[in-house]
Amino acid sequence: QPPHRDYDDLCGLPDLTEKTLLENLRNRFKQEKIYTYVGSILIAINPFKFLPLYNPKYVKMYDNHQLGKLEPHIYAVADVAYHAMLQRRRNQCIVISGESGSGKTQSTNFLIHHLTA
């Protein structure tokens, strides 16, 4: 069987089923790609370890970029909300939800880190 293609946005899956969705997330997680888009929604899978995805290089890389132009990242969501707030002169909201232990607090910390940078 040919190796499965890695989709960073689940909307691009040719066959969207629970099985293909979970396989794609599993394959990305094995490569330490913990972020995956579903359109403008970001899925984050807690790796339960520190990954080098949160340094100043990434803050700068995701500054003023459209969602989906770079690899999925929490900084991309923060940056899109920030620039929408500036452009539209309206408050923005980012909803973070998940099970206990899923990394909601850590994700919030990364969002704030990007916004304050």
pLDDT tens per residue, range 18-72 = 999 999 999 999 999 999 999 999 999 999 898 999 989 999 999 998 899 999 9
Ligand-binding site membership of 36 (annotated): no
Assigned fold of 10-116: Kinesin (3.40.850)
Q: 2: pLDDT confidence band, cut at 50, 70 and 90?
A: very low
Nearest CA among 7, 65, 61 for reference residue 38: 7
Q: Is 100 one of the annotated binding-site residues?
A: yes
32 is in an annotated binding site: no
Instruction: Work out the angle at residue 28's Cα, subtended by the Cα atoms of residues 46 and 24, and round it to the nearest 5 degrees.
Output: 110
Rounded CA-CA distance 32/15 in Å is 23
Q: Is 40 annotated as a binding residue?
A: no
| Residue 107 counted as an annotated binding residue | no
Was 103 annotated as part of a binding site?
yes
Distances (CA, A) of 98 to 56, 62, 95, 116: 27, 24, 10, 24
Residue 56 corresponds to which tokens in the numbers above? 């100043």
> What is the reported pTM?
0.90
Q: In the predicted model, is pLDDT for residue 101 greater than 90?
A: no
